[in-house]
Amino acid sequence: MTVDRNCFQVGDLALIQDRKGRRNLLSLADGQVFHSHLGRLDHDKLIGQGVGDWYRTDKGHVVLAVRPTLGDFVLQMPRGPQIVYPKDLGLIVTLGDIFPGATVIEGGLGSGALTSALLRAVGEKGRVINYEIQESWLPKGQSNIKKILGDTPNLEIKIGDIYEGISERDVDRVVLDVPEPWQAVSTVGDCLVMGGILLSFLPTVLQVQKLVLALEADTRFQIIETTETLLRTWHVTERSVRPDHRMVAHSGFLTTAVRCQPRLIRTPSDLSADNQGEIDVSVEGETDGRDE
């Protein structure tokens, strides 16, 4: 049976926007009614009708109904722990180089926003294996993921502390949204394939510094970079063009690191051995005089 993607079906998500830009998310079901200050809107009015169409509430107000993007959905979905915002989701996929077919270990399911973005990026041929310490978050996180993505057989959720160890090996990517990722550095180093990428989302700079120092001390991570994204929306009309007054001023920092061979450094004794035709290169931490 072919589904007409121009029309809403039972079970679809619909994003309702009123003329002031206020948004609500509906999960369309037979016989359900959406109530707001604008009046009631029967789900049955939308089911079988056009996506991108205008609908009238019983009080005569007109609203627009479209399909939510992933970003719309995560902002509207029921939350437990703090979600990763859409502005960071996009960058996590890019900076973490989450590619179709990748195997990704994720630390912390929470409300499932980041997991949904990772599942989309790895596609049906990829896998996301999530370690979540708090079993009580599962129903909310799983239900959110199901609403936006449907069934996801390529998602495995393991109840456990990611700091205690990751059992998988030759993993392409590790994405962490847990409070103390420095505790996971050693196990992440063991599980990543050579050239694999660790990405960590952290809200404060003190956490970032602790993570970066731990990554450097481990010696198996190189190309360690930290970024922050500020996203500002704009108000554009015929008479005025300016930034919007409100924005999400801070969410968090993204730190990435690439799993490599430990750095080979040449000590003075290596150099003298070289001069005698011997090469004996030791494996150490940083001693090349760069800023500490």
Task: Annotate each residue in 259-288 with x if it binds ligand SAM (CB under 6 A) or - if it does not, as one string.
Answer: ------------------------------
Amino acid, single-letter form, for residue 2: T
Task: Pick the stretch among 13-21, 31-39, 177-185, 273-281 that binds ligand SAM (CB under 6 A).
Answer: 177-185
Contact 259, 282 (CB under 8 A): no
The binder of ligand SAM chosen from 109, 122, 199, 257 (CB under 6 A)? 109
* Structure letter (DSSP) for residue 183: G
* Using rule CB under 6 A, residue 161 touches ligand SAM: yes
Alpha-carbon distance 73 to 147, whole Å? Answer: 9
User: Following CA atoms 57, 63, 65, 69 in sequence, which dihedral angle do they give, to the nearest 10 degrees?
Assistant: -130
Beta-carbon count within 10 A of 80 CB: 17
Token pair recorded at residue 163 = 């700091």
3-state SS assignment for residue 11: coil
**Of 55 and 163, which has the nearer Cβ to ligand SAM?**
163
**Of 13 and 84, which has the nearer Cβ to ligand SAM?**
84
* Structure letter (DSSP) for residue 7: B
* Using rule CB under 6 A, residue 248 touches ligand SAM: no
Task: Pick the stretch among 20-28, 96-104, 132-140, 230-238 that binds ligand SAM (CB under 6 A).
Answer: 132-140
Alpha-carbon distance 28 to 122, whole Å? Answer: 28
Rounded least distance, CB 25 to ligand SAM, Å: 16
> In the range 43-102, which residues lie near ligand SAM by CB under 6 A?
81-84
Chain residues binding ligand SAM by CB under 6 A are 81-84, 107-114, 131-134, 137, 161-163, 177-179
